[in-house]
Amino acid sequence: IDQYDRDSIINDFKNGTCKLLVATSVAARGLDVKHLILVVNYSCPNHYEDYVHRAGRTGRAGNKGFAYTFITEDQARYAGDIIKALELSGTAVPPDLEKLWSDFKDQQKAEGKIIKKSSGFSGKGFKFDETEQALANERKKLQKAALGLQDSDDEDAAV
């Protein structure tokens, strides 16, 4: 589906021509539909921010809204993030969700595993070793020299 079709579908949903929108998490950010009262998360969001953005499409501008999230035992590691979001919003946490999270933590503890808190953006990224970093810095200096640019440190050294 191309961008024009996506935009058209979202506009149809916003103006009420289309009563149901099935979308990926891409629609969770930046989509503001007045009077949207229900979001169903068919697949459980895999981090706190994604859950907040998905559920946050409902109840905008002081209106009430509802978000239902399907979560399986295989997705129990995400229950803590959903519980956090519910607690911060003042929403009661369903006992089944608390039990799912508690059972998951007990299982992890029994296996000697540590439960890491998820911010949603917890990737460590690529790290250069010292040699790679030195080569990258040298390449950067050569590129700057070729463009006639200097670092402020280089300018200080020339004085």
Q: Is the pLDDT of residue 117 over 90?
A: no
| Portions of the chain given CATH number 3.40.50.300 | 3-110
φ and ψ at residue 39, rounded to 5 degrees: -125, 130
- Name the band, by pLDDT with cuts 50, 70 and 90, for residue 120: low
The 3-state DSSP class for residue 48 equals helix
Q: What is the DSSP letter of 92?
A: P
| 61-65, 71-75, 89-93, 135-139: range with lowest mean pLDDT | 61-65
Nearest one of 21, 26, 51 to 36, comparing CA atoms: 21
- CATH topology assigned to domain 3-110: Rossmann fold (3.40.50)
In the numeric block, which tokens belong to residue 116?
């890491």
